Amino acid sequence: MAKVIRTVYITLLSIAGLLAVVIIIGTITGLTRGKNVVIEQRAPVTEDDIRVFSGLRRLRIPLDNSSVLVLSIAFPYQASDVPFTEELAGKIGEFRTIATDYFSSLPPSQIISIDEEAAKTEILRRYNSILRLGRISVLYFSDMMIMDSHYQ
């Protein structure tokens, strides 16, 4: 019995020693090797670099007549204006709320034939009223559809 315990003890001690050696060698290798860090290279932003802000994603807006308006809103912005770009990113929640409030407050008679240009003008005015570091010049609506609850 003592011989079996001694064999198990030596085996466990050997495994622990081997593990310690592997850890030490790995640590030394990691510290002495050059770092293999891959840095993502982005194209430099130029003064005339215009991009499209689509961070609002798809909105699903409940309407007064229990239908749902599905809408994506995007707009161009100057990518070289970093403070304004950061302000836009920080206002995503407010932009979503403004659009949702506008469309959900429309009376049922206007929902059937939404005046897209009037909606863009009003939402653009509201967006620009909360911005301090720049202005949005134009809005684009895409994926604009009304899902009527009567047919679901």
Mean pLDDT across the chain: 84
Q: Answer whether residue 142 shows pLDDT above 60.
A: yes
Q: Catalogue all structural domains in the chain, each as residue range(s) with its CATH number.
A: 50-151 (3.30.479.30)
Residue among 138, 98, 101, 135 at smallest CA distance from 117? 138
Q: What is the mean pLDDT of residues 100-120?
A: 85
Q: What is the mean pLDDT of residues 119-142?
A: 94
Whole-angstrom Cα distance, residue 26 to residue 146? 60
Q: What is the mean pLDDT of residues 57-76?
A: 88
More confident residue, 19 or 45: 19
